[in-house]
Structure 1
Amino acid sequence: MIRRPFLGRTPWKDRQYGRTAPESSGPEAGLTLVELIIVVAVLSILATAALPIARFQVKREKEKELRRDLWEMRAAIDHYKDAADKGAFQIKADSLGYPPDLETLVNGVDVQGKKVRFLRRIPIDPMTGTAEWGMRSNQDDPDSDSFGGQNVFDVHSKSQGTALDGTKYSTW
């Protein structure tokens, strides 16, 4: 290896306030406009691809929440029916042991001097954003959208939207 003699020149230039980094010159000095456009184009393509995936994920989470809320309310209806069938409290003759409304599940019934509640609260429908649910009475036609009002046999979402699997939320 051949060593060159030190000629007193360094890549650093002395200035009044100390030493500074070497000044670069030539084509490697920074980003060119073409490089910047390419980077922005690649980033925009990635962002455009990520947006539908994010929307899909949000919809999937809402569907999970809807399934959980429906399961919770249906379980409360079933527990109410079981308690009514065992004679734990008085029911209307035409109710067949089902609750008259969802509020009854939240407010509870008196069982041997104690208040028994079957739901903590009526959940918010994640598809409509309200606590209003479609209900079916035991006497209603299974395909009917109207509620007869005699009792609450089943609940469903009032949303007319379509799920990721192609079914209507109102049929869940």
Structure 2
Amino acid sequence: MRHAPAWRLDQGLSLIELVIALAILALLASLVLPMAEVTVTRTKELELRRVLRDIRTALDDYKADYDKAVAAKKIIANLADSGYPKQLEDLIEGRDWGGLYALPKKYLRRIPRDPFDRNLNGWGMRSYLDDPDSDAWGGEDVYDVYSRIDKTALDGSYYRDW
């Protein structure tokens, strides 16, 4: 009588082997998921820092062009005017600064959104006359922007303080 080779007798996994394999996979998944969440948060934080830098650079460039146009006597400075844009949309529409530029100079293609703001509340703004820590916008101009999100960053600071 011929016997089947030993490798043919073991053609499947036993229940215990299957349970152990699933337990190991579950343990690995429970270790990976928190690291993935931290990675997503860190990516959003980097995006928030970049977006804030872009908007603030555009605001500073707008002010520099205002000062340049005043110095070149292309526009007349008003005592009540700080030189910063009246609203964020002015950075998209652009200005020619009284002929300083042949075409209106645009500072942003679009107003970027806050990566943490799911409700699309928009940016918090401060005018030139507002206190540096003010949460209320005076409405005269846009001197600074900040995130309205009341969450803590990975480094322990608040996003609204960046």
Do these two structures clear the TM 0.5 threshold for a shared fold by scoring above it? yes
Say if 2:98 is the partner of 1:81.
no
- Structure 2 distance, partners of 1:32, 1:81, is 73
Shift in Å at residue 141 of structure 1?
1.3
Gaps of 5+ in 2: none
Say if 2:37 is the partner of 1:55.
yes
Query: What whole-Å deviation, never above 9, does each CA across 1:80-103 have from its counterpart, x for those lacking one?
Result: 000111125566532311111100
Q: Which has the higher helix share?
A: 2
Q: CA RMSD in A?
A: 2.3
> Runs of 4+ in structure 1 displaced over 3 angstroms?
9-12, 88-93
- Structure 2 distance, partners of 1:47, 1:90, is 65
Q: Which residue of 2 aligns with 1:69?
A: 51
Say if 2:143 is the partner of 1:153.
yes
Q: Which residue of 1 aligns with 2:8?
A: 24
Name which one, 1 or 2, has greater alpha-carbon Rg: 1
Matches within 5 A, 1:111-122: 111=97, 112=99, 113-122=102-111
Q: Which has the higher strand share?
A: 1
Gaps of 5+ in 1: 1-8, 13-21
**8 Å CA contact retained: 1:124, 1:131:** no
What TM-score, normalized by structure 2, do the two folds share?
0.86
- Structure 2 distance, partners of 1:146, 1:92, is 24
Deviates more, 1:75-84 or 1:102-111: 102-111
Q: Report the secondary structure of 2:145's partner residue.
A: strand
| Residue identity opposite 2:8 in structure 1 | S
| Residue identity opposite 1:24 in structure 2 | R
- Structure 1 distance, partners of 2:51, 2:131, is 23
